[in-house]
Structure 1
Amino acid sequence: MARTPSNMLPLGTKAPEFSLFDTISNSTINFNDIKGEKGTVIMFICNHCPFVIHVNSEIIDIANTYKEKRIGFAAISSNDVVNYPQDSPEKMKAHAKNEGYPFPYLYDETQEVAKAYDAACTPDFYVFDADNKLVYRGQLDDSRPDNGKPLNGSDLRNALDCLITGKENTEIQKPSIGCNIKWKV
């Protein structure tokens, strides 16, 4: 398994706009469509990455929990589907349905959105406040496939709790680690 870290976009960065195909609803969705009243989580994931497979249950649980707290969620796959056909929109839709994703699963065909977010790996997490400013980026928690640490979403949950309650997040923001985004050549 490749172990690529997040690039750690600077805090305060305004959320890059996007308009992408949602493989679940077969419609085009933009940032404002998924924006939550309190904040928004953008996740870069894919179907086949073992790091994403490892965290799928937790990101679903977090989305289900925090959607009720007025946080919006979207997942984006930016992988090159020519060389990685398992990440095609059709397979994204089937994967999302099988996993029970409670958020849009967007296809970034041109990879321009991944570049705008400076995304590097899957999974990669970004939390924006109500003003669309970046307040958290990095890992879900310390758990990785086969490292024995519990999967609990502690880093992302803390960032969301701080955002909702208006507390400053004083925890160190650690880069996510995962498979590199499969860039087109």
Structure 2
Amino acid sequence: MARTESNMLPLGTTAPDFYLLDTLDNTKKSLQDLRGINGTLVFFICNHCPFVIHINSELAQLAKDYISKGINCIAISSNDIVNYPQDRPELMKQNAIDNDFIFPYLYDETQNVAKAYDAACTPDFFLFNNQLKLVYTGQLDDSRPGNNIPVTGKDIRTALNALVKNETISTNQKPSMGCGIKWK
């Protein structure tokens, strides 16, 4: 398992827009269509990465816990499906169903969206406020496959809770770590 850290897009960056295929309903959706009233959590994931598989249940729970608080979640896969066919859109849909994802799982075929977000790994997290300004880019928590630390979502939940309460989010943010995005 190759370990790649996130690039840490500068805080305050405006969320790059996109228009991508939602693999769940086979329609194209934009950031404007999917953004939350109070904030938007965009995360880059894929089907096969052990780091993502390790946290899938927490990703599903995050959405269930925060959508009702006005924070929408959006998952994007940007991997090269020629060399990584397990990340094909039809398998993304099945993965979303199997993991009870209640958020859109978008396919970034050109990889332009991953480049616009400066995404580097799966998972890679970007939390934007209601004005689509980046307020958090960091890890879910300290858990990694095999390190015996439970998956809690502590770091991202701290940022989400602060955003919901309109409190200051610490700028001391630890990079996410996972498999590198599979570039074409």
Could you say whether these structures have the same fold, taking a TM-score greater than 0.5 normalized by the shorter chain as the test?
yes
1:3 to 2:3 alignment: yes
Q: For residues 24-59 of structure 1, what are the alpha-carbon distances to aligned partners after superposition, in whole Å with 9 as ceiling and x for unaligned? A: 011001001110000000010000000000000001
Instruction: Report the 3-state secondary structure (helix = DSSP H, G, I; strand = E; otherwise coil) of the residue aligned with 2:136.
Output: strand
**Stretch moving more, 148-157 or 167-176:** 167-176
Aligned mates of 1:176, 1:107 — CA distance in 2 = 21
Aligned mates of 2:42, 2:18 — CA distance in 1 = 11
The equivalent of 1:16 in structure 2 is 16
Q: Which aligned pairs between 1:11-160 and structure 2 lie closer than 5 A? A: 11-160=11-160
Instruction: Report the 3-state secondary structure (helix = DSSP H, G, I; strand = E; otherwise coil) of the residue aligned with 1:138.
Output: coil
AA aligned to 1:35 is: R
The equivalent of 1:169 in structure 2 is 169
Give the drift of 1:171: 6.1
Aligned mates of 1:21, 1:59 — CA distance in 2 = 20
Give the drift of 1:90: 0.9
Give the drift of 1:97: 1.0
Q: Give the gaps of 5 or more residues in structure 1.
A: none
Q: Give the gaps of 5 or more residues in structure 2.
A: none
Q: Aligned residues, how many? A: 184
Q: For residues 106-157 of structure 1, what are the alpha-carbon distances to aligned partners after superposition, in whole Å with 9 as ceiling and x for unaligned? A: 0000000000000000000000000000000011000000101111000110
Instruction: Report the 3-state secondary structure (helix = DSSP H, G, I; strand = E; otherwise coil) of the residue aligned with 1:55.
Output: helix
AA aligned to 2:40 is: T
